[in-house]
Amino acid sequence: MVQPLSRRHFLGLSACSLATAGLAPLLGAAGAARAQLPPPIAGIDAPGAVLLNYNENPLGPFPEAREAALQAMDHAHRYLFGLQHEFTALFAEKHRVDPGHVSAWCGSGVALDAAALAFTGPQSALVTADPTFETLAQMASAHGARVVRVPLRNDGAHDVEAMAAAAAKNGAGLLYVCNPNNPTGSITPRAGLEWLFANKPATSIVLVDEAYIHYSDEADLLDLVRDGREDLVVLRTFSKIYGMAGLRLGAAVAHPSLLQKLVLQGVNSLPVPAVAAGMASLQHPGHLATRKADNTRLRQETVDWLAARGHACLPSQANCFMVDVHGDGRAFGAAMAKHGVFVGRSWPSMPRHVRVTVGTAEEMARFREAFEQVMAG
């Protein structure tokens, strides 16, 4: 039998960890959750290392967000639930949704875990793409749910027809669509998503993860929440284009009945500096267009450079892309690391492809230099 958390252990959890404290019995012990953290990577902290492995934004937070976070440190000894309400109200205003349709989270990872607990289980399967971001599938599987993985189409889009069929066949409680997708950066057009809503089982919930939507030309799905859909959850995060991966802030947008099922899985105070930085970011949306344009230019320059050397990349509208390295992706990543350039990994369904985050112009120059050396060697 799993022992309950002691008060000492409970108070030792961070604000974000507290939101998932209820997962400890599921995983066997609180320590098991820590074991899921990525292992340390040799050389990654060395001076001059180029980090293109976790889809982080090398530019960091907006200048206004940095200043807001610093000022908020004077209040970081308080929970400031009122500030969180201000954040959700501001998020709702900027995105033209009802404040009751927004809940705040530590990034989107915790919300994904909550969705797995709320909408999947032994009798409710998860239908997801392959490859895609794996947190939701891992938690659903640990929760006893069957995970059905549907290969992406050749153009990188989700195969919505196959996903709808899999949902009907397996009694899916949840379908997961990351759009643009991680790790491929590919998009699923709006028409395909509308088809999915029209053809999936009526009882299945669709979770659309829009972590990378600001990098894309594709329209978001928040209008469907405004229109009253009760089978859609949209996730947003400040970890990508806003450059706040280490601050941990995100939001779920959905009908209040769905949000209630999410927050019942565990919710608590968010880091005060993160909330302050998020509010400042929302007040300065002009930075988004500049960051998107710079990312698009650097990504396309690199993709074109790779293509000229015979290394194709999947179409991407995110801050990452998947490149065919013509060999074992893991071996390629290890070789790049020896040159101080750390790239993402490959996926079992795409072992010859490696995910690469778009960095600064200088970092992408280092990537090209190391790539040539690895391929020549």
- What is the tens place of the pLDDT at every residue in 268-319? 789 999 999 999 999 999 999 999 999 999 999 999 999 999 999 999 999 9
Integer Cα distance of 270 and 266 in angstroms: 12
pLDDT at 377: 86
Q: In what helix (H) or strand (E) does residue 375 lie, and over which residues does it extend? A: helix 361-376
| pLDDT confidence bin for 7, thresholds 50/70/90 | very low
| pLDDT confidence bin for 232, thresholds 50/70/90 | very high
CATH of domain 63-282: 3.40.640.10
Average pLDDT over residues 129-151: 97
Beta bridge partners of 115: none
Beta bridge partners of 354: 323
pLDDT at 40: 85
Weakest-pLDDT range from 32-46, 235-249, 263-277, 356-370: 32-46
Fold of 50-61+286-376: Aspartate Aminotransferase, domain 1 (3.90.1150)
The residues spanned by each domain of the chain are: 50-61+286-376, 63-282
pLDDT at 36: 61
The dihedral of CA 54, 207, 125, 131: what is its sign?
Answer: negative
**33 vs 21, which has greater pLDDT?**
33
pLDDT at 3: 34
* Mean pLDDT score across all residues of the chain: 91
C-beta of residue 16 within 8 angstroms of C-beta of residue 106: yes
What three-state secondary structure class fits 175?
strand
What three-state secondary structure class fits 211?
coil
pLDDT at 24: 34
Give Cα separations from 362 to 2, 23, 111, 290, 298 (angstroms): 50, 41, 34, 18, 10
Say how many C-beta atoms besides its own lie within 10 A of residue 287's C-beta. 18
Residue 111's closest CA among 25, 176, 203? 176
Beta bridge partners of 278: none
C-beta of residue 356 within 8 angstroms of C-beta of residue 313: no
Q: Do domains 50-61+286-376 and 63-282 have the same CATH topology?
A: no
Question: Across the chain, how many H-helices and E-strands are there?
Answer: 16, 11
- What is the tens place of the pLDDT at every residue in 166-212? 999 999 999 999 999 999 999 999 999 999 999 999 999 999 999 99
Instruction: Give Cβ neighbours of residue 14 (< 8 Å, ≥ 6 apart).
Output: none
Strands 320-324 and 250-254: unpaired
Long-range contacts of 23-30 (CB under 8 A, 24+ apart): 23/113, 23/117, 23/139, 23/266, 26/117, 26/142, 26/143, 27/142, 28/2, 29/2, 30/5
pLDDT at 38: 77
**264 vs 278, which has greater pLDDT?**
278
Rounded (10°) CA dihedral 90, 92, 93, 96: 160
Instruction: Give Cβ neighbours of residue 235 (< 8 Å, ≥ 6 apart).
Output: 108, 111, 112, 207, 208, 209, 210, 211, 250, 251, 252, 253
Task: Output the six-digit token pair for 263.
Answer: 């927050």
Provide the whole-model pTM.
0.90
Beta bridge partners of 372: none
* pLDDT of 59 higher than 90: yes
Average pLDDT over residues 50-65: 98
